[in-house]
Amino acid sequence: MNEKPLLEIEHLKKYFTLKRGRGKVLAVDDVSFSVGKGETFGIVGESGCGKSTLGRVILRLMEPTDGRIFLNREPIHKLDAKNLRKQRRKMQMIFQDAMASLDSRQKIGHIIAEPLVVHGVGTKQERRERVESLLLKVGLEPDAMEKYPHEFSGGQRQRICIARAISLNPELIIADEPVSALDVSIQSQVLNLLTDLREELSLAYIFISHDLAVVEHICNRIAVMYLGRIVETASTDELFANPAHPYTQTLLSAIPRPEPGNRNKKRIILEGDIPNPADMPSGCRFHTRCPCVMNKCRKEMPETHLRMTSTGPHFTTCHREFEAVIRPFP
């Protein structure tokens, strides 16, 4: 990763207050990480862990409760509406449900050109030429401009969303489960497209997913989230080879592997339900389901430990540090 990160997140928090003063939901709780230029940073975890909320808060589609957000050292968290709008050219989002994020009443040409219009980019003819070029870049024909979203397949609609996201030449794209609603064969095509665009346009991605097999394919580094907190961060190769947190080990054990040597490997089954985010357990939030829980885990929040590896820093937030290895892996 470059010495000067493109994006820096420091102690970011997003809390939702329940009705009638019944407490708070700690959706994002003290999250810190950085993303380098041209890097794909994955965020994984179960549904409800705060991944999507984190993505929206970074772009200030939701206002953070606390914490700091820097894009090229610009304090995004402090910007007023006017200056934030200028920075929005540099950061865009691809949503999970492509159909819901496209205006069904508008033609595709208008949808893709809208960011250009909003930011005053080019003449009408120049915008049209730009839209045609973007459609070709994502694998669609220019005549798609005159059609409506319902006339396309799910994979094609996601390509349209990608074309819209790159229309302003952003530096950062947050992709929130961009392939989870697609067939497996279409998933690989969209992932390959995102990879090609990253290399061609020098894009950085935050790739949000619940599927570790998908992030393994596209990400340089991965952060694992559980109940609003990041519990482990490492390069993709390091995380898959040496998972240190019990939760990460559990997620990895659930990935089906076709290799003959993996057939007899034991899957780790978590017991119990995910705790209520409005009533967090004391100590480590994973202790109610952890297969190697200690008494200390029930009482004290663990610190984050660092180990340097050949592929970069490996962070884990666990009382057992790097001894907490269940290892159904080679």
What is the per-residue pLDDT across 166-203, written as a single tens digit (0 to 9) for each? Answer: 999 999 999 999 998 888 889 999 999 999 999 999 99
Answer whether residue 328 is part of any domain. Answer: no
Total number of residues shown for the chain: 330
Q: What pLDDT shows up at residue 140?
A: 96
Measured distance CA(73)–CA(8) in Å, rounded: 8
Answer whether residue 129 is part of any domain. Answer: yes
From 65-69, 224-228, 273-277, the region with the lowest mean pLDDT: 273-277
Q: What pLDDT shows up at residue 162?
A: 97
The rounded mean pLDDT for the chain is: 90
What is the arithmetic mean of pLDDT over 209-231?
A: 93
From 13-17, 116-120, 320-324, the region with the lowest mean pLDDT: 320-324
Per-residue pLDDT band for 23 (boundaries 50, 70, 90) equals: confident
Answer whether residue 330 is part of any domain. Answer: no
User: For residue 320, is pLDDT > 60?
Assistant: yes
Answer whether residue 2 is part of any domain. Answer: no
Answer whether residue 266 is part of any domain. Answer: yes
Answer whether residue 262 is part of any domain. Answer: yes
User: For residue 321, is pLDDT > 70?
Assistant: no
CA 103 to chain centre: 24
Q: What pLDDT shows up at residue 12?
A: 97
Measured distance CA(327)–CA(330) in Å, rounded: 8
Reported as a single tens digit per residue, the pLDDT across 201-216 is 999 999 999 988 899 9
Q: What pLDDT shows up at residue 322?
A: 52
Q: What pLDDT shows up at residue 258?
A: 61
Per-residue pLDDT band for 246 (boundaries 50, 70, 90) equals: very high
Q: What pLDDT shows up at residue 328?
A: 38
- Report the share of the chain in percent with pLDDT over 70: 92
Answer whether residue 62 is part of any domain. Answer: yes
Dig out the tokens for 213 from the structure. Answer: 């097999």
Beta-carbon contacts of 247 under 8 Å, excluding residues fewer than 6 positions away, are: 224, 226, 231, 232, 286, 290
User: For residue 256, is pLDDT > 80?
Assistant: no
Is residue 247 within a helix (H) or strand (E), and if so which, with residue range? Answer: helix 246-253
Dig out the tokens for 130 from the structure. Answer: 């730009």
292 or 63: which carries more pLDDT confidence? 63
| CATH at residue 201 | 3.40.50.300
User: For residue 329, is pLDDT > 60?
Assistant: no
Domain count, the chain: 1
Query: Which residue range forms the structural domain that includes residue 20?
Result: 7-323
Answer whether residue 148 is part of any domain. Answer: yes
| pTM attached to this predicted model | 0.91
Reported as a single tens digit per residue, the pLDDT across 136-169 is 999 999 999 999 999 999 999 999 999 999 999 9
